[in-house]
Amino acid sequence: MVKEKKVVVGSRGSKLALTQTNWVISELKRLHPGFEFHIEKISTKGDKITDAPLSRLGGTGLFTKELEMALIKGKIDIAVHSAKDVPTELHEGLTIGATPKREDPHDALISNNHANLEKLPDDARIGTSSLRRKAQLLAFRPDFKILDLRGNLDTRLKKLETDDLDAIVVAYAGLRRMGYTGTISQIIPFDIMLSAVGQGSLCIEIRDNDARIHDIVSSINDVQTRIAVEAERTLLAKLQGGCQVPIGAYAQTQGNEVQLEAIICSIEGDHTIRDKHSGPLSKAAKVGDELAERMLENGGRKILHEIRQEFQARIDNT
């Protein structure tokens, strides 16, 4: 196989990451049968540090930086990410070459004994690795006891059995991709819990000057998903959010419009700002920017300032 027909695909080594990467490769092989694809497994900071909440690790790119460095150095040609892990500001020289069709972005409740959030017992113990989920769960039911839950999807499912938890909350998309939908007790509706920015989507990152790879990966780009994720990511960038900030957002295209809904929560869920906005498909970034500005003006700026002060205080005390 000549070099021009070889493509090295970077992926995290978890079972879910490899499942997602193999799906991307199968689609690319179907559309480009003359090419040979090889997976290069790369461990990230977020993979290596599993004994601390993501919100305390700080910074951005916890699950992407090492893959991006491999791209920049030419060790890989493509990096496959979960879109929700990708920082809103990409490293210089890199770009998103494709955003494939989105999986269902809802969150899912898994409980051995209870059908939904409403039926969980008083003071139920719920495991989640996400501040966004924690805040919205507490906004829905302040009696919940939220415990940090790190590790890959299989690990989190096992901890439901071993850590005396009444339930865990994870992304539906990961369960579906792994064939674990039979474990789901409830797909949590958006009126209770808005998803993370980009949840359910994949981002195919490439070097921005690599025309050969761009031509290959652009064949699996889904325009509707790309527009929706652009609106969400622009909102997140304007809010300067990350895994340290409880922000949820979901955009969808309807006819000639993109419709975006978002929420900003205090860490304990006792204060929330929720709003929605829409606009032309060609103005997805503007929709995200305008909604973010309106939410900041309507109380979001105060919530975000208090959250950042709290995290800074924690850092200063460690």
Catalytic residue set: 85
Pairing of strands 247-254, 257-265: antiparallel
Q: H-type helices in the chain, by residue range?
A: 15-31, 45-48, 54-57, 65-72, 131-140, 153-162, 172-178, 211-217, 223-239, 284-295, 301-316
Distance (Å, whole) CA 54 – CA 58? 7
- Burial (CB < 10 A; 0-12, 13-18, 19+), residue 91, is middle
Instruction: Give Cβ neighbours of residue 3 (< 8 Å, ≥ 6 apart).
Output: none
Helix, coil or strand: residue 116: coil
Distance (Å, whole) CA 97 – CA 24? 13
Q: How far is CA 60 from CA 31, 64, 203, 232, in A?
A: 33, 9, 16, 17
Helices (H) and strands (E) in the chain, counts: 11, 13
Distance (Å, whole) CA 209 – CA 61? 22
196 near 128, Cβ under 8 Å? no
